[in-house]
Amino acid sequence: MQNKICLINQPCGLGDILLCQKIAYHYIDQGYEVIWPVNTCYNYLNEYIGNKKINFCDINNDFEYKNLMSHCNIIKNDNLIYLPITHADKFINHESMLYAKFIFTGIDCSDWKNYLTIKRNIEREEKLEKYLNINSYDKFNFINNFYGTPPNTARNNSIKPKNSYKNLYMEIYKWDRLFDWFGVLEKAEEIHTVDSSITLLMNKINVKNVHIYERSTVENINYDQPTDSYIHKKLFNDEWKYFVNK
């Protein structure tokens, strides 16, 4: 009997990939094996969120049904379903691309966190902590102001915590992975980050005092008071604080 294949077209945007694990599991529960091509910079994902039913492969390599990747419409037959969720905005008019992907596939996103299982690499986390000399810090702010898939990143330089703690800025090193920052996040007194893939990861660990800022490149924004109407608040965490330029 031929295996049923679910081919997912969402090669980049690590946050999108993490969020949409529920879509993959929806089809795994129906007996499909998932092929998920990703940009080369995410080749390591099998080590953290892959399993026997989801195979993250390099989009530049050969894989089954690769010829379909140029299509923008969902394709389905007896043994295949092709989901081009990266193109959801072409069909769904919604102010958030994150919600649009679930509307496009007809799947509820409310419990997405239950379908994201992460295998932590403590050795790599400790290597990064040692490199950053975390033990020399007392209380510190963890600050991440960049977003996007490398090398196409942007920064919100208006993220400026209003406290007296030391500031530790997240940077992209040549050898680290986003998952390596778990240990640092757990040790931070406060977390201040632009809305990016790290917000999805933080939902899986018990971190407190999280402040999420909009994606913006406008300089010198004064983020004074948090808003209760942030578009992704229910998708992320109701207890976090969210800031936009009013």
- Bridging pattern class, strands 80-83 and 75-77: antiparallel
Taking residues 26-30, report their average pLDDT: 95
Closest C-alpha among 66, 65, 67, 43 to residue 55: 43
Residue 1: pLDDT band with limits 50, 70, 90? low
| Alpha helical stretches, state H, 1-95 | 14-19, 21-28
pLDDT in tens, 187-230: 999 999 999 999 999 988 878 899 999 999 999 999 999 999 99
Return the structure tokens found at 134. 């975390």
pLDDT in tens, 99-114: 999 999 999 999 999 9
Percent of the chain at pLDDT exceeding 70:
99
Question: Taking 60 as the threshold, does the pLDDT of residue 43 lie above it?
Answer: yes
Q: Which residue has the higher pLDDT, 51 or 144?
A: 144
pLDDT in tens, 125-168: 999 999 999 877 789 999 999 998 888 889 999 999 999 999 99
CB 100, CB 16: distance < 8 Å: no
Q: How far apart are CA 117 and CA 200, in angstroms?
A: 12
pLDDT of residue 61: 97
